[in-house]
């Protein structure tokens, strides 16, 4: 009888415990450090808070980025070429800082804390930008009253303060971008079939809301900045980010926080793997016993470190051959195999842009408005629709394809770094674009000639630049096809 009761008790215990085991999301804990229960944490209820942060962040970022050239050539009085270089340099920095911030997040702060820090930096940077624009407005108003003139260049201090604020926003974007998306994807358990499918749709919804934020930013903030006030146009995103920080904090108790059994920094692990491999390669045959002087656990970790390093190295050719798309993307004011379609479409969009610009220049000559740059060229705005339509479709393929590829093709603890590599494509694209613009501007504008980037767009030759980008994209596309074909896909390592 006692045995029966004991068995019954054991069965009751098993029945009580089994659902709890099935309910645990492996590799994740809740905000108190306990194993995260699927029924009480993660999935869409948590991801919705994180998507809200991304919606606000993209609204704020493109509220600055999309109209930055207008501010630099307007209130700050810079030339078109100088403004283009400054915008590309800033954008490149904003897209490359995720590499640094991903390292800090994966090694020290964690994704959740890094997102909090990034939101605070955004609020500070946007607040400073709004203050900078307000101070310039007061200065230019006093200047016009004193000189009775509209020519009121900003002071050196104003310019320094503006760019300090601008690069603070770039740093904030660097902290937010690789962590917020990885943190959102972390809310779905890959070992659960239903949640694994939900994670795939998460990336699609992510890009839908991202595009929605960009569209709202272009429609609302650009109008406010151009027609009402630059200070207000920079201040509204600051308020939006304050709301986003509150919304993100509200979801704290529902989030799943990833844990890593190996507490070493991911980049340190890769570095140690390379160092150990180099040492072993140099060891003489009779010294081989030293190589084996590792515990079984150390051997497992070393083997996994080597495989992790290999996965990162395998990404490099794909990353490098995607830079052509990054350069093309840097020319547009925003908005694996899926990415192949997007890269090809971006090449096609450059060809269309070159043809339309050639047509626009011909119309300017035909109607005699070449030397009146402020005159309206008699062409319908719908001529621009084809290239933007193709760019939009290219973004759908490329963004989603790159995001899933760089997220899935790295070990779990490297996912912030993987997404940072994806983002750095656009950063390097902006820097390469800035380099091309500088070189071409110097080469084509000497001896009194109008260069490709003349302030008078009717005498400029953006069509030549677009053809150049199309050619570079074609070369990069061919290389991308080759490396995509030979790429060896990463399989998750179980420890």
End-of-domain residue from the set 259, 290, 322: 259
Residue 167 covered by a domain: yes
User: 369 and 230, same structural domain?
Assistant: no
Mention every residue, 6+ apart, whose C-beta is less than 8 A from residue 39: 23
Are 104 and 417 in contact by the 8 Å Cβ rule? The answer is: no
User: 340 and 248, same structural domain?
Assistant: no
End-of-domain residue from the set 206, 225, 259: 259
Distance CA 368, CA 458 (A): 10
Residue 375 covered by a domain: yes
Distance CA 108, CA 187 (A): 20
Distance CA 244, CA 121 (A): 13
Distance CA 83, CA 432 (A): 15
Q: What is the DSSP letter of 285?
A: G
Residue 180 covered by a domain: yes
pLDDT, position 392: 72
Cα of 22 vs its chain's centroid, Å: 35
pLDDT tens per residue, the chain (495 residues)? Answer: 333 333 333 444 334 343 355 567 777 788 888 887 777 887 888 889 999 999 999 999 988 888 888 888 888 888 877 888 888 888 888 888 888 888 888 778 888 999 999 999 999 999 999 999 888 877 666 665 554 444 577 788 888 999 999 999 999 998 888 788 888 888 888 777 787 788 778 877 887 888 888 888 888 888 898 888 899 999 999 999 999 999 999 999 989 888 764 455 555 666 666 666 656 555 545 444 444 455 555 555 556 666 666 666 766 776 676 666 666 555 543 334 445 666 777 788 888 888 988 888 888 888 777 777 667 777 877 777 888 788 777 776 777 777 777 777 777 667 777 777 777 777 777 778 778 888 888 888 766 677 787 777 777 888 888 898 888 888 888 888 888 777 776 655 443
User: 390 and 313, same structural domain?
Assistant: yes
Are 36 and 42 in contact by the 8 Å Cβ rule? The answer is: yes
Mention every residue, 6+ apart, whose C-beta is less than 8 A from residue 425: 95, 319, 322, 323, 325, 326, 402
End-of-domain residue from the set 259, 290, 323: 259
User: 215 and 297, same structural domain?
Assistant: no
Which ranges in 148-255 belong to alpha helices (H)?
Answer: 156-185, 193-216, 222-227, 230-250
- Which structure tokens are listed for 399? 């963004």
Contacts 24+ apart (CB under 8 A), 144-147: none
Distance CA 231, CA 250 (A): 29
- Which structure tokens are listed for 150? 């509209």
Alpha-carbon radius of gyration of the chain:
27
User: 242 and 285, same structural domain?
Assistant: no
- pTM strictly above 0.85: no
- Give the distance between the most distant pair of CA atoms in the chain: 106
Residue 4 covered by a domain: no
Distance CA 274, CA 306 (A): 8
User: 269 and 255, same structural domain?
Assistant: no
Mention every residue, 6+ apart, whose C-beta is less than 8 A from residue 495: 261, 262, 300, 301, 304
User: 434 and 314, same structural domain?
Assistant: yes
Residue 16 covered by a domain: no
Distance CA 218, CA 237 (A): 12
Phi, psi of 138 (to 5 degrees): -65, -45
pLDDT, position 161: 92
Give the structural domain span for 461.
264-495
User: 229 and 287, same structural domain?
Assistant: no
User: 218 and 278, same structural domain?
Assistant: no
User: 297 and 244, same structural domain?
Assistant: no
Q: For residues 304-319, b (16+ Cβ closer than 10 Å) or e, as one string?
A: bbeebbebbebbebbb
Cα of 127 vs its chain's centroid, Å: 22
pLDDT, position 389: 80
Instruction: Name the domain count of the chain.
Output: 2
Strand order in the sheet with 35-37: 35-37, 24-29, 257-258
What CATH number has the domain bearing residue 51? 1.20.1250.20
pLDDT, position 406: 76
Residue 5 covered by a domain: no
Residue 19 covered by a domain: no
Mention every residue, 6+ apart, whose C-beta is less than 8 A from residue 117: 109, 175
User: 275 and 394, same structural domain?
Assistant: yes
Residue 461 covered by a domain: yes
- Which structure tokens are listed for 411? 């070990």
User: 455 and 331, same structural domain?
Assistant: yes
């Amino acid at each position: 009888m006692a045995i029966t009761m004991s068995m019954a008790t054991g069965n009751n215990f098993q029945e009580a415990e089994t659902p709890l085991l099935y309910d645990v999301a492996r590799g994740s804990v809740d905000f108190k450090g306990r194993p995260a229960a699927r029924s009480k944490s993660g999935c869409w209820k948590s991801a919705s808070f994180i998507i809200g942060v991304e919606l606000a962040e993209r609204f704020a970022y493109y509220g600055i980025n999309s109209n930055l050239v207008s501010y630099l050539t307007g209130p700050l009085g810079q030339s078109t070429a100088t403004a283009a270089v400054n915008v590309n340099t800033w954008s490149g920095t904003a897209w490359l800082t995720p590499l640094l911030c991903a390292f800090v997040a994966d090694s020290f702060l964690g994704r959740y804390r890094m997102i909090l820090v990034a939101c605070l930096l955004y609020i500070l940077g946007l607040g400073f930008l709004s203050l900078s624009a307000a101070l310039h407005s007061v200065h230019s108003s006093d200047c016009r009253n004193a000189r009775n003139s509209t020519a009121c260049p900003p002071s050196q201090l104003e310019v320094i303060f503006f760019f300090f604020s601008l690069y603070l926003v770039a740093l904030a974007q660097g902290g937010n971008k690789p962590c917020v998306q990885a943190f959102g994807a972390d809310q779905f358990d890959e070992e659960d079939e239903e949640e694994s499918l939900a994670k795939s749709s998460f990336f699609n919804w992510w890009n839908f809301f991202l595009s929605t934020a960009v569209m709202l930013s272009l429609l609302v903030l650009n109008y406010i900045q151009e027609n009402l006030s630059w200070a207000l146009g920079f201040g509204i995103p600051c308020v939006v980010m304050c709301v986003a920080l509150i919304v993100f904090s509200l979801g704290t108790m529902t989030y799943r926080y990833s844990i890593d059994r190996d507490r070493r920094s991911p980049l340190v692990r890769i570095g140690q793997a390379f160092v150990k491999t180099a040492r072993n390669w140099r060891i003489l045959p009779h010294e081989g016993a030293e190589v084996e002087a590792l515990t079984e656990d150390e051997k497992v970790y070393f083997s996994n470190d080597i495989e992790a390093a290999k996965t990162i190295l395998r990404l490099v050719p794909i990353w490098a051959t995607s830079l052509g798309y990054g350069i093309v993307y840097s020319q547009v004011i925003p908005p694996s195999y899926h990415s192949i379609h997007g890269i090809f479409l971006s090449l096609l969009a450059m060809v269309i842009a070159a043809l339309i610009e050639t047509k626009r220049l011909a119309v300017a000559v035909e109607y005699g408005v070449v030397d009146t740059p402020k005159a309206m060229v008699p062409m319908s705005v719908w001529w621009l629709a084809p290239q933007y339509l193709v760019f939009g479709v290219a973004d759908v393929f490329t963004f989603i394809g790159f995001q899933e590829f760089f997220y899935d093709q790295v070990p779990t603890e490297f996912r912030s770094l993987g997404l940072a590599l994806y983002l750095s494509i656009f950063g390097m694209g902006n820097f390469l674009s800035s380099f091309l613009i500088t070189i071409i501007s110097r080469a084509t504008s000497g001896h009194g000639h109008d260069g490709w980037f003349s302030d008078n767009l009717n005498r400029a030759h953006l069509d030549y630049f677009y053809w150049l980008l199309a050619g570079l994209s074609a070369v990069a596309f061919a290389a991308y096809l080759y490396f995509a074909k030979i790429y060896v896909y990463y399989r998750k390592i179980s420890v």
